[in-house]
Structure 1
Amino acid sequence: MRALSFLFLIAFTFLTSSAQAVLLGSASRDPNGLRRSVVFIENSVGELCSGALVGPDLVLTAAHCVTDAASYRVVAVNRAFKPQRIRVVALIMHPSFVLGTTPRTQPGVDLAMLRLERRLGPEFLPLDPTLSGRIGLGDPVTIAGYGISNENRRGTARVLRQANLVSLGPIEVANRVQIVADPERLAETSGAGACRGDSGGPILAATQQGYLLYGIVSWSSGALRTSGRTACGGLTAVTPIAEHLGWIRQAASNLIAIDGAWTRR
């Protein structure tokens, strides 16, 4: 495995962007699988992100996904993979998040929580952030999201895909993120990872009891040996959940207390 300092250079040398589908991922078609816990977020100006259900009416995502002056709705798919659209009535960004910066240069924490106008039913399975652990170097993880499957195929979004990645350890860019990548290619050539539409989607650990939520996707980069300009197929940068559980608990409590009127905090 390449030294992390080498990967740190890649993050700055190659084009990076908000991770907006899972590149080289496989479509998730199990009605009892991740469709119960992973959603996507769309707004009235046409932007798309992914998110993790953390309560019957709460979604955890990336803060940079909800900075537009727009209306938002969350889309969950039922057991038949038919979309259910639910209006977002309130949202809270992490207080350290700085508007006007790119995800890679963000000095704050790229997290936001959304409250829906109604609770999702028992066929959905919220992930419990308090059960998350810390991702160690070399740990296998799973990425899931609704973004595009290829940068040249923008019509492929809004399909849930997942892929297996490996942790390459934390780095300090403008803030602290965890880096994950394709376990075979290690960001040298284009491989699996986040792409456009995957920002805010979950990084998970698979256990015998189910999936644990470990982090939220913030940005992605192109691979080292890439001839064209690309922001996918290299590194995927993740905001780790375990480091921000205090804020997650408080945000959930604040949103639950809101009476349902639109609120942005």
Structure 2
Amino acid sequence: MRALSVLVLAVLAFMAGPAQAVVLGTPSRDPNGLRRSVVWVENSAGELCSGAVVGPDLVLTAAHCVTDRATYRVVAANRTFKPQRFRVTVIAMHPSFVRGTTPRTQPGVDLALLKVDRPFGPDYLALDPRQAGSVGLGSSVVIAGFGVLSERQRRTARTLREASLISLGPVQVANRVLIIADRARLAETAGAGACRGDSGGPILTANGGVYRLFGIVSWSSGALRPRDLSACGGLTAVTPVAEHIDWINASIRMLSAPNGAWARR
């Protein structure tokens, strides 16, 4: 654990930033695959993040993705991978989240729940946060998001990609996060991981084609020995869902209330 903390701090000292597509990820083309549960979140200022469907009209994402004074929408891919747009009507941000901080210096919890203007419909599959569990050291996880392939390839965003990473265990930086990385590279050199546009996207465990939501991407770093300066291809920091399930469940109940017992943002 101490060695991991030293590695994390060394990488952060070099380069780290919000995970704003999955580097070295494989495009997801299965209409019955992750496109049913993974969306992107964009705003009127041009910012892009990813998110996970967790209810008929609800998306879980990173809080730092929804701090701009802007209008927001969620975009989901239908069975033919054409974009379907939904207007965000309510944003519930974790009460400990501190605005004005970067994701890696965030002392609070980097989570937000979004309600959209209508149900996603039967073409989509909500992930149940209550089924989230722990991930052991060295365990395999799946990252999925709509970000770029590299920071120099901005036009590669808005394609769903996924990759397999491994858990390097939890670490306390400003808040508590789980660190995941490319199994072969372990952040020494650039490998698979989150990049620009992947913040808020899901980290999942997979068993026989069944996915369970484990966490939400918060930030990513460059590798220790990169060829180019980058905030991608090194470590990916994840906010574990199970550790904040009480707030998630309470927020889901609040935003699902039929009498509209919630405040608009």
1:227, CA displacement in angstroms? 3.8
Range that drifts further, 6-15 or 16-25: 6-15
CA deviation map 1:180-231 (0-9, x unaligned): 0000000000000000000000000001261000000000000000143210
Please name the residue that 2:65 is paired with. Answer: 65
CA deviation map 1:23-45 (0-9, x unaligned): 00010000000000000000001
Structure 1 portions without partners, runs of 5+: none
Distance 1:11 1:110 in 2: 20
- Secondary structure class of the residue paired with 2:127: coil
1:169, CA displacement in angstroms? 0.4
Distance 1:191 1:180 in 2: 11
CA deviation map 1:125-149 (0-9, x unaligned): 0000000101111010000000001
- Secondary structure class of the residue paired with 1:31: coil
Q: Is the 8 A contact 1:91 1:255 kept in 2?
A: no
Please name the residue that 2:34 is paired with. Answer: 34
Please name the residue that 1:253 is paired with. Answer: 253
Please name the residue that 1:182 is paired with. Answer: 182
Distance 1:195 1:183 in 2: 17
Please name the residue that 1:46 is paired with. Answer: 46
Please name the residue that 1:19 is paired with. Answer: 19
1:262, CA displacement in angstroms? 7.4
Distance 1:8 1:45 in 2: 31
- Secondary structure class of the residue paired with 1:104: helix
Instruction: Figure out how many residues of one structure are paired with residues of the other and give that number.
Output: 264
Q: Is the 8 A contact 2:254 2:261 kept in 1?
A: no
Change (3 A) 1:30 1:209: closer
Q: Give the letter aligned to residue 256 of structure 2.
A: I
Instruction: Report runs of 4+ in structure 1 exceeding 6 Å deviation.
Output: none
Alpha-carbon RMSD: 1.6
Q: Is the 8 A contact 2:15 2:229 kept in 1?
A: yes
- Secondary structure class of the residue paired with 1:197: coil
State the TM-score, normalized to the length of structure 1: 0.96
Query: Equivalent residues in 2 for 1:63-212 (5 A)?
Result: 63-208=63-208, 210-212=210-212
Change (3 A) 1:174 1:110: same
Distance 2:2 2:243 in 1: 25
State the TM-score, normalized to the length of structure 2: 0.96
Change (3 A) 1:244 1:2: closer
Q: Give the letter aligned to residue 23 of structure 1.
A: V
